[in-house]
Structure 1
Amino acid sequence: MTGTGPKRPKLVAEKRANAKKSSPKRAAPKTAARKTRTKRRARPAPKRNPISRLFRWIVRLFWGITWRVGAVCTILVALGVLFYASTLPELEELVDGRTRGSVTLLDTNGQVFAWRGDQFGGMVTTETVSPHLKNSVTATEDKRFFWHFGVSPRGIASAVKINISEGRSALSGNGGSTITQQTAKLLCLGVPHDTNKMTEREYESDCRRGSLVRKAKEALYAMALEVKFTKNEILTIYLNRAFLGAGARGFEAASQRYFNLSANQISPAQAAMLAGLLKAPTRYAPTNDLQRSQDRAETVVKLMEEQGLLTTAQANEARANPATLSDAAKSRTGGYFADWVMSEGPSYLTRDTTEDVIIQSTLDPRVQRAAEQAMLHIFDTKVRDGSKAQAAIVVMSADGAVRAMVGGRDVKATGAFNRATQASRQTGSAFKPFVYAAALDLGYSYNDYVKDEPLTIDIPGSGPWTPSNYDHKFSGTVTLTEALRRSLNIPAVRISEGVGRENVRTVAEMFGIQSDLAAGPALALGASESTLLEMTGAYAGILNGGRSVTPYGLSELRLQGDTEPLIGQDGGMGERVITTNAAEQLTYMMYQVIESGSGRRAKLDGRQAAGKTGTTQAARDAWFIGFTADYVTGVWLGYDDNTPLTGVTGSGLPAEIWHDAMVRINEGVPISPLPMIDGQAPSAYVDPNAPQRANPQPKGTNPIENLLLQIFGGGN
């Protein structure tokens, strides 16, 4: 079976041989590829542009530096933000940034009429204030407040563009500050006020510096605020610390100051006015220029409407009914009075207080308005245009409680020179009642006689001195009442010399005239200087029956929030100076001055009044001081530089101002009689050959006293 047929050849070796023979054929393509690559390498490389290579190198270098510097700056900024954030106190400690306290003054009705110092109405939050207020602030100051991280690059770029377009430097004018940045500035970047190094004004000026370094710190602090607090908490700090003019710190104080409302009660128009103050608080304060403030508020209303924070109907309502001031803010009553009370009270509770103080005062707003209106009316109708003459008015009760004070023609001035309390001027004949008070207290009678004849007194060291009457005439023998009624000089000097200048000086000082009084015989003619407040207080002593008076305006002082007062004042009456009988006689004599004497222009229809005129040498000062049963009023008129008045005496314009003021003051006040004797009007002239007292009263038996009385016509 195995040997039949031809045998097949072995295939193994043959296949191997075939494989070897075919291998060069398979390698041929690789050799061709190598040749192709060899040819390509041999091709010359294209030449590169050296400028392009340099540019690429610069870009790579710049990028390498930039990202490294950026990374370092980012780390430094983060560290700065974290550092500032770690130093920030809690929210409640940041809302009141005042270093001093405030004083709120109340009138006799318990209403606020003046503020001193920076007012802080108490902490408010974004939840407790009116939503219109919150919206008006963000609309006008930072409409992207709730979306940025504390700094707004877009806002800064816009501000720089505006500044350059308006011809200013990039950092001058608009600052592009966010509310957070403004809050950082209000916090002075966390730097406390060192009262030993700088004043509060200097401190605030330093906080508002606008250098690049300061701006950088401000940005870091603003971002730290964003890290520490929520947006509403930052806005809360801002609402409480912002200065809004007229001494108001924070929107609660401003709302109370301008509208007598809490910040949670204000309308869109009122909110817009308050927000408008942020641009320039003093310039736009409604107490300075209400129309300007209303115009600014209208701009804020427009912004709120455009940003969808007010409906068209609400915006139209706000435009149609702009915010107005409360009665207290509108009247600005008692600027001079408030300044005086602040100067008279203890400094640590008034001028330099670190507490919030409430002062209950004696100011009567009705009487204050009457005094102001009288002043303005007379100057508008009786004084020539361009006159620089000034005037002052003081009104008080018989116990010295000051009810009104006007210290100059600018009746609304605050912080100005107060001619009622600061101007010491010669009193002239307004001093004469104290001469007669001394005589009456020593036993003289209103109807006693005194000689009005030529008189010369030898003054040691000065020589002879001869007084004269205003009209340079003599009336012979006249009664004391007649002498005062006609304001005769010579009888006043005779009486002063007869009773003793020291007695006259003592009476005047005990009645409250603290200024230095003249030592010579001219004392009787008002050669000494005094203030209107002192003189009016001294006349109050006559009205109250002869007791001294200390004028006062503060009746109670307490700390805000307390019910118990720290200081109280029940009245200003002191010890007795002259007898009640002497005061009643003197009141009768001064009543005659107004009824038929030198003060006739002051006479009131249907109401008894007593007073005295006063005109100094060369008419540099003109006075009228008088009283009814309820009020004592003093008026002074003159120039600040002592220029003589032209055609003015105490019986002229001062008496007219007094009359106008008292008519207004006594309107609606029940008529009461003056506390005076029921005397008989004396004759103008008596028999010069009978120099005796009309109602003889026993005097002392001292021979020196009797001699003086005989020499000077007093009689016994």
Structure 2
Amino acid sequence: MSRSGNRPLVADRRYKTPAGGGRAAPPSKPKLPAKPRKKRAPRRRGISGWIAAFFGLIVRIIWGFTWRVGAVVALVVGLATGYFYAQLPPLGDMLDARARGSVTLLDRDEKVFAWRGETFGGSTSAGTVSTYLHDAVVATEDKRYYWHYGISPRGIASAVRINMREGRGPLEGNGGSTITQQVAKLLCLGVPYDSATWKSEADYEADCRRGGLMRKIREMPYAFALETKYSKEEILTIYFNRAYLGAGARGFGAAAQRYFGKSAGDVNPAEAAMLAGLLKAPSTFAPTNNLKRAQDRAAVVLGLMREQGYVTQAAYDDAIASPATLSQAAEARAGGYFADWVMGEGPDFLTRDTTEDVIMRTTLDQRLQAAAEGALRDVFTAKLSEGSLAEAAVIVMSADGAVRAMVGGRNPAPPGSFNRATMAMRQTGSAFKPFVYAAAMDLGYTPADYVEDAPLTINVPGSGPYSPRNYTNKYLGLITLTKALEESVNTSAVRISEAVGRDVVRKVAEDFGIRSDLAAGPALALGASESSLLEMTGAYAGILNGGSSVRPYGLIDLRLQGDSAPLLGQDGGIGERVITEESAQYLTYMMHMVVEEGTGTRARLQGREAAGKTGTTSAARDAWFIGFTADYVAGVWMGYDDNTPLRGVTGGGLPAEIWHEVMLRVHEGLPARPLPMLVPEARLPPGQPYRDQPAQTYIEPQVQDQQMQPPPQDDLADRILQEVLGIFGGN
């Protein structure tokens, strides 16, 4: 039944049928009204919150700044490292960059005794040096060397802490440099030496070694470049070859030779520790300057090696008990005065200013050098009062002028010191008289001829009267020439000089090698002129060799290292004949009698013939003894550098004693040989009055414009003139 107006009893369709048929889409879900959001109440910050926020902001700013700056720095360092890396040469070019060469001096037996300039011992690698030396350097200079990349932040921090604790600036003093950084300094960060920029190599190296913050900053990329370019062992090789180790030694190869006379591969633990200890302060710890200080420093290095396990306890104990000592050549303090002198024998471009490494063979005999030095030292110690400033010089040479030993002062001195044997020009006094008698012998006189010893006055035009007096103020009358020389009689020497002619005497002395300006007046005969010990000893060598001139020499030859052909040969030796051989032999006999019976008896050598002559100048400012045996000639000078008169010293005193002691040691082991002398036939018997004997020849001066007259009495002006002219020549 239908109920109109009422809803049908079937369920409503859920979906409407779309137009055109098909199932209708479901109706959209009705949207619920949005719930209103609850607003949060504003949070109140406490004081701690504000502080935290502030510091957080600061941290963010700093971090932002830091990483940006760090990135820039890293970029700059990387670019700088790359720049330096591109400039680094092959390893072989880094080992020896000296601007000048060196000179190695060999003695007569071709053994090294001295060096000049900066010597380079040849390329030394980290693999060829002694293991002890390798480890000593690492232990001392950079114990973390194999664990860092050129820079050690821990080392720098430690150095800053030490500097601050000791009251210095953070980068003053201890710099905390690694070995790599030290190599960077040695290489001067790649800047080559330029003579137009630096006055000398020393200034250049000082500039390279300077410290400071900016220098450290520049070192960093260079160190990184070194670590990138070379291995650790190659960097050590550069270090071993370029480090300066005192006494002119560049590199450990040169230093090992300089101090110990061996290669760097053969040094023992004690020697290795001493070499490594030099790196801290080469001049201060050089064993040639102070051996004890060098040994103390080496003990510190040995302690570091022991702590780091590089040596055993037994090796450590042995090295401490037997510290390193110097070689014989090193003990000679680089050849001393002889080395300085012989360097002047060659041209400067091959010696003092050489750019090559040069080898010089010389005449030096190291045994004789030690004998001369020891004799002088012992006599001065025994005979001179403590604190005396008196000086002395000694020369020993062969008859041909080859210098075998040279002592230029009583104490050893560093290279370049004043050499009294070659540089000091001093009045010769009676040591000049043999040349007066040489002239007489060459003119036909003999040692048995006679001369008067009596007061004498010579009127010298333009100067007035000249009256020589004897040292003893006594006169012997008519005496032989031998006696006149034995007793060093002044009046007789002047008479002989005037008789033969001053020009002849001057010519003989000059031809024998006295180069100085000789006096023109009669005081010439008494040694009023100046000369050096080298000249005088060389002139006496001419008497020994039979009357020929001698030019003292020390250089045998000079060659470049590695070359067999010499560039320069001997420049000196026996020259032209000056007097006849017979004259030289007569004169040798007269000088032998000086030692046997005259003023030089303190120089007498038991069982060995010797000849010589004493010399004491006006007011005893200089004292000499020069003489010879059949084997060697030796000269001794003694005085003060400031010309202060000697007290109680004459040529026949201390100089004769020094000569005696020198020659005793020089002739050790040599057989005695007779002197080449000629004994005159008419020699008078000893002790017989000379004036009672008939004269073979009587020498009397016959010089124009000179008059013989008695000496003036108490003439003050004359005495002053005598002092000025140096006419009180002594014995």
CA-CA distance at 1:509 after TM superposition: 0.6
The alpha-carbon distance between structure 1 residues 46 and 244, as it changes in their structure 2 partners (threshold 3 A), is same
Q: In the alignment, which residue of structure 1 is the partner of 2:536?
A: 535
SS at match of 1:264: coil
Alpha-carbon deviation of 1:317?
A: 3.0
Q: Does the 8 A contact of 1:334 with 1:368 survive in 2? A: no
Q: Alpha carbons of 1:14 and 1:225: their partners in 2 closer, same or farther (altered >3 Å)?
A: closer
The answer as to whether partners of 2:624 and 2:655 remain within 8 angstroms in 1 is: yes
| Counterpart Cα distance in 2 of 1:487 and 1:373 | 30
Local SS of the residue matching 2:169: coil
Q: Which moved more, 1:507-516 or 1:443-452?
A: 443-452
- How far 1:704 moved relative to its partner? 11
Change (3 A) 1:228 1:98: same
Change in Cα spacing, 1:384 to 1:370, as seen in structure 2 (3 Å) is same
Residue 213 of structure 1 and its aligned partner are, at CA, apart by 1.9
Where do residues 14-33 of structure 1 align in structure 2 (5 Å cutoff)? 31=33
1:104-140 CA distance string (max 9 Å, x none): 1111222111111111010011111122211111111
Pair 1:621–1:685, CA change in 2 (3 A): farther
Per the alignment, residue 474 of structure 1 pairs with: 475
Q: Report if aligned partners of 2:499, 2:701 keep a CA contact under 8 Å in 1.
A: no
Task: Give the aligned residue type for 2:466.
Answer: W
Structure-2 residue corresponding to 1:302? 303
Match of 2:636 in 1: 635
- Tell me if the contact between 2:244 and 2:282 (Cα under 8 Å) persists in the aligned partners: yes
d(CA) in 2 for partners of 1:64, 1:390: 76
Q: Tell me, what secondary structure is at the counterpart of 1:146?
A: helix
Aligned to 1:4: none
Cα distance change on mapping 1:347 and 1:684 into 2, 3 Å: farther
The answer to whether the 8 Å contact 2:95/2:238 transfers is yes
Following superposition, the deviation at residue 58 of structure 1 comes to 3.4
Measured after TM superposition, the shift of residue 327 of structure 1 is 2.5
What letter corresponds to residue 423 of structure 2 in structure 1? Q
Give the aligned residue type for 1:306. E
Farther-moved stretch of structure 1 (432-441 vs 283-292): 283-292
Secondary structure of the residue aligned to 2:552 is: coil
Q: Map residues 501-650 of structure 1 onto 2, 5 A cutoff.
A: 501-569=502-570, 572-650=573-651
Letter in 2 for 1:84: F
State how far apart, in whole Å, the 2-side matches of 1:111 and 1:20 are. Answer: 120
1:98 partnered with 2:98: yes
- The alpha carbon displacement at 1:366 in A equals 1.1
* 1:333 Cα offset (Å): 6.8
The aligned residue for residue 693 of structure 1 is 696
Question: In the alignment, which residue of structure 1 is the partner of 2:128?
Answer: 128
Moved more, 682-691 or 375-384: 682-691
Separation (CA, whole Å) in 2 of partners of 1:100 and 1:407: 28
Q: Contact 1:270–1:322 (CA<8 Å) still a contact in 2?
A: yes
* Separation in 2, partners of 1:533, 1:484: 22
Residue 348 in 1 paired to residue 349 in 2?
Answer: yes
Q: Is 1:244 matched with 2:245? A: yes
TM-score by length of 1: 0.92
Aligned residue in 1 for 2:230: 229
The equivalent of 2:150 in structure 1 is 150
After superposition, the C-alpha distances for 1:285-337 in whole angstroms (9 at most, x for unaligned) are: 12222222222222222212222222333333333332222222234374111
Deviations, residues 363-411 of structure 1 (Å, cap 9, x unaligned): 1111111111110111111111111100110000000000101111104
> Given residue 693 of structure 1, which amino acid in structure 2 is its aligned partner?
Q
For each residue in 1:471-495, what CA deviation from the matched residue of structure 2 results, as whole angstroms up to 9, or x when unmatched?
A: 1111111111111111000111111
- Cα distance, 1:50 vs structure 2: 5.6
Tell me how far apart the structure 2 counterparts of residues 388 and 687 of structure 1 sit (CA, whole Å).
44
Match of 2:167 in 1: 167
Does the Cα contact within 8 Å between 1:475 and 1:685 map onto a contact in 2?
no
Q: How many percent of aligned residue pairs carry the same amino acid? A: 62
Contact persistence 1:259–1:329 (CA under 8 A): yes
Could you tell me which amino acid in structure 2 is paired with residue 127 of structure 1? G
Answering whether residue 114 of structure 2 is matched by residue 114 of structure 1, we say yes
Indicate the larger mover: 403-412 or 63-72.
Answer: 63-72
For structure 1, which segment, 409-418 or 650-659, has the greater mean C-alpha deviation from structure 2 after superposition?
Answer: 409-418
Match of 1:182 in 2: 182
Q: Taking structure 1 as reference, are residues 534 and 706 closer, same or farther at Cα in structure 2, changes over 3 Å only? A: closer
Root-mean-square deviation (CA, aligned residues, Å) is 2.6
Distance 2:689 2:483 in 1: 11
Alignment partners' CA distance in 1, 2:379 and 2:344: 29
Return 452-461 or 52-61, whichever deviates more.
52-61
1: CA distance, partners of 2:701 / 2:271: 78
Tell me if the contact between 2:485 and 2:591 (Cα under 8 Å) persists in the aligned partners: yes
What is the alpha-carbon distance in structure 1 between the residues aligned to residue 15 and residue 77 of structure 2?
81
What are structure 2's unaligned runs of at least 5 residues? 1-7, 18-24, 710-731
CA displacement at 1:708 relative to structure 2:
11
2:146 aligned counterpart, secondary structure = coil
Deviations 1:446-474 (A, max 9, x none): 11111111111112222111111111111
**C-alpha deviations, 1:397-455, integer Å up to 9, x for none?**
00000010111110455432111001000000000000111111111111111111111
The aligned runs of 1:643-658 (5 Å cut-off) are 643-658=644-659
Confirm or deny: 8 A CA contact 2:625 2:635 kept in the other structure.
Answer: yes
Residue aligning to 2:215: 214
Partner of 1:611, secondary structure, is strand
Q: What amino acid maps onto 1:635 in structure 2?
A: V
Q: Is the 8 A contact 1:333 1:412 kept in 2?
A: no
**How does 1:404-419 map onto structure 2 within 5 Å?**
404-411=405-412, 413-419=414-420
SS in 2 for 1:114: strand
681-690 or 204-213, larger mean C-alpha shift: 681-690
The one-letter amino acid of 2:125's match is T
Q: What does the per-residue CA deviation read over 1:21-63, in whole Å, with 9 as the maximum and x for residues that have no partner?
A: 9966xx66xx5xx42xx34226445558665554444333332
> In the alignment, is the contact (CA less than 8 A) between 2:446 and 2:680 conserved in 1?
no
Deviation string for 1:230-258 (max 9, x for gaps)?
A: 11111110000001111111011111111
CA distance in 2, matches of 1:675, 1:711: 38
Which residues in structure 2 correspond to 1:666-681 (within 5 Å)?
Answer: 666-679=667-680, 681=683
Q: Which residue, 36, 39, 42 being the options, matches 1:41?
A: 39
Q: Which residue of 1 aligns with 2:279?
A: 278
Bigger drift between 655-664 and 297-306 goes to: 297-306
**Secondary structure of 2:344's aligned partner:** helix
The 8 Å contact of residues 456 and 708 in structure 2, kept in 1 or not, is answered as no
CA distance in 2, matches of 1:215, 1:21: 83
Structure 2: distance between partners of 1:42 and 1:61: 31
- 1:226 Cα deviation (Å)? 1.3
Return the letter of the residue paired with 2:695: Q
CA contact (8 A) 2:448 2:481 kept: yes
The aligned counterpart of 2:725 is none
Deviates more, 1:334-343 or 1:651-660: 334-343
SS at structure 2 position matched to 1:344: coil
- Change in 2 beyond 3 A, CA 1:63/1:447: same
Structure 1: 5+ residue runs without aligned partners?
Answer: 1-7
Deviations 1:655-675, CA, capped at 9 Å, x for gaps: 000011111111111111101
Cα distance in structure 1, aligned partners of 2:27 and 2:591 = 158
Q: Distance in 2 between matches of 1:426 and 1:592?
A: 24
1:684 is displaced (CA, Å) by: 6.2
- How many angstroms apart in 2 are the aligned matches of 1:493 and 1:324? 56
Q: Distance in 2 between matches of 1:22 and 1:344?
A: 122
Secondary structure of the 2:147 match is coil
For residue 637 of structure 1, what is the amino acid of its counterpart?
M
Contact 1:163 1:170 in 2 (8 A): yes
Distance 2:117 2:29 in 1: 110
The one-letter amino acid paired with 2:39 is R
1:386 aligns with 2:387: yes
Partner of 1:662: 663
Report how many residues are paired.
690
- The SS at the match of 1:612 is strand
Matches within 5 A, 1:486-505: 486-505=487-506
Tell me the residue number matched to 1:83: 83
Q: CA deviation at 1:649?
A: 0.4
CA distance in 1, matches of 2:138, 2:357: 30
